[in-house]
Structure 1
Amino acid sequence: MPTIRNRRSRARREPSSDRIEEDPTQDENQEDVDENGNASEEEQPRRRGSAQQKPQKKVKKEKTRRSARTQDEDGNEEGGDGAEATAPADNNEEEVDEGAWLDLDNFKNQPLSRQTDGLVIAGIAKEWDRFVGNWERSAMTMAPQVAEAMAEVGEGRGNEKDLALKELEKMDIKMREFVDTAAEIQAHYDMLLDIRNQVAREDTSDVLDLYNDGVQKKKEEWAGKTTRQKLISKNDSPYQLFRQRIYEVQHPGEAMPPMTEFISREEGDDSDDEDLAVGGVSQNFKCTLTLLPMEKPLRSRVCKHVFSEDGIRSYFADGKRKTCPGAGCSREQMLSDYVPDNEFVRQVKAYVRREKRMAEEREDDDDDTEVIE
């Protein structure tokens, strides 16, 4: 057994001369290699040139074509007439005149598709609606707060009072301008909805003209309204809240008269303006259940009445469904229908602050009276 293993090992170590064949290319390559194993200087460029020969031909051909086109455009070339020096262009290449097939003067608007374009218009209208909502929410929050703060300053004395009252007059003008701007934005949104509905019914052409004409018509309709019709509505508008906050500061505890008392009648307004007689609202900052100033007010989502958290929790302590505890309200609801009202919290704090300031002013007046006596 050891002897057989040794023979096989020798057989594997000794290469067979019959299996080795000479490659003619190998001989050529070996001739080009010097004693140090490096290729000769003449052979190295030749090999690189052979490997890159084909791409160079393509680049040269492409450069020739570009040169021919450039010379055709310029018309001249160094050393002679451009027409003679220019290489002949490809017969299949023809210069195209765009004006020959596109007549912009007679190009008509293409109709919008009910399936695809209608969805696009609906998306644009949705963006306008979001913009209008953000615009109104900002005005409903900021304008009344600023008006309330300025009105409180106006309740002071001296120069501060005069300056505050002048600023309130400027704010009144700005709020009216805001109402006009909001109406213009609403006109764009409404017109997009009109076009979307029309496209949903039928293919519609000349959409741009339809849109611009529709917006202009709505703006003219708004401009034709009277001041009362613009500023007064049955829903709480930013301008109405603006005036209400001012009145609450200047006339604490009193019901605000109808808005028609603040806006002069114009031609086109009804004599009595029954539809616009919005007002007579008195905000009560004391809870009707606890008879104390509101603390942690909760507003009903059903009827919008507000109560202190302690008072309303005590009212629904048995967990049953009941009618609203507000005077004259018969809406049934549960404790879960009441949610916190942060805006009302701010109003309560302002009310308490005004009451405290007025009490201090009365004490100062009493002290002055006693000194005079």
Structure 2
Amino acid sequence: MSLAAVHATLSGLKECQTDIGTGMDIVTDVAMDLAETQEGADNSGISKMEAMILECAKLDREINHFVDIVQQVTAEVGAQPPEAMFSLTARVKEQFTEKIARLSDGELQRHQKVLAFKESIRNSLSQANPESAENMEDEDEDIAVTQSQVNFTCPLTQVDMVNPMKNKKCNHHYDEGAILDLIKKKHSQKKKCRCPVVGCENTDVSQSDLVPDQMLRRMIQNQKRQGNRT
């Protein structure tokens, strides 16, 4: 196996991760539809959707760890004699098996898409059943953002967001690709990434601060559909 073949395989896995993320968004949309209709009264459907989200999160996590291990092992092998390539597969398998054995399912609850799923379902159930909204306010106090505070336009691209990400620190939103590119650029310059929203005092935006906002994404999509009809 050549290093070029290894890199090609990793690229394929990263594309697979993109598809997994898209699938998780679709599952979230279906669960939100269930929560917003009478079917939401039957939580079994939503529970099945949540189980699917967790399985996808588990697969996404395993791919992340596998890619990291392969990159680490190939870097080590690259500095060794060519015959070291013959042990590449065995070394990756050993380290990956050890890594997976140490992981807990509880960690999946902190996956970005899982957090976004739960927040979206809470918001949808709240809208479908106003009587329960008051009880849910305390639970959602730290993550709630009113529609009046949200702008569909990304502060970086100045166009409507496609995949809005919410900053847990300052509650501002940005399009996923734009904010991740900015963070990467600033880190390459060894600088902190300041929140691009004018007047925001958050001077250190990191990827771990960002969570997908599925509710906002649906609002943007609904607005576009209404615009197309007119």
For residues 75 and 28 of structure 2, the distance between their equivalents in structure 1, rounded to whole angstroms, comes to 41
Spell out the pairing of 1:117-266 with structure 2 (5 A cutoff): 120-122=2-4, 124-132=6-14, 134-157=15-38, 160-162=39-41, 165-205=43-83, 207-233=85-111, 237-252=112-127, 257=139
- Work out whether residues 31 and 46 of structure 2, in 8 Å CA contact, stay in contact via their aligned partners in 1: yes
Runs of 5+ in structure 1 lacking a partner? 1-116, 259-278, 289-293, 308-322, 333-340, 352-373
For residues 218 and 51 of structure 2, the distance between their equivalents in structure 1, rounded to whole angstroms, comes to 25
- Work out whether residues 17 and 63 of structure 2, in 8 Å CA contact, stay in contact via their aligned partners in 1: no
For residues 136 and 187 of structure 1, the distance between their equivalents in structure 2, rounded to whole angstroms, comes to 12
RMSD: 4.0
- Matched to 2:34, the amino acid is V
1:346 to 202, 218, 225: 218
For residues 222 and 13 of structure 2, the distance between their equivalents in structure 1, rounded to whole angstroms, comes to 30
What is the number of equivalent residue pairs in this alignment? Answer: 174
- Work out whether residues 155 and 250 of structure 1, in 8 Å CA contact, stay in contact via their aligned partners in 2: yes
TM-score by length of 2: 0.56
- Matched to 1:347, the amino acid is M
For residues 256 and 192 of structure 1, the distance between their equivalents in structure 2, rounded to whole angstroms, comes to 44
Match of 2:153 in 1: 298
- Per the TM alignment, residue 249 of structure 1 is displaced from its structure 2 partner at its CA by 0.9
When residues 228 and 301 of structure 1 are mapped into structure 2, their CA distance, relative to the original with a 3 A threshold, is farther
Larger radius of gyration, structure 1 or 2? 1
- Per the TM alignment, residue 197 of structure 1 is displaced from its structure 2 partner at its CA by 1.0
Q: Highest relative contact order (Cα 8 Å, sep 6+), 1 or 2?
A: 2
When residues 169 and 241 of structure 1 are mapped into structure 2, their CA distance, relative to the original with a 3 A threshold, is same
- Per the TM alignment, residue 136 of structure 1 is displaced from its structure 2 partner at its CA by 3.1
- Work out whether residues 57 and 114 of structure 2, in 8 Å CA contact, stay in contact via their aligned partners in 1: yes
For residues 84 and 145 of structure 2, the distance between their equivalents in structure 1, rounded to whole angstroms, comes to 52
- Matched to 1:249, the amino acid is S
Which is richer in helix? 2
TM-score by length of 1: 0.38
- Matched to 2:48, the amino acid is K
Identity of paired residues, percent?
Answer: 13
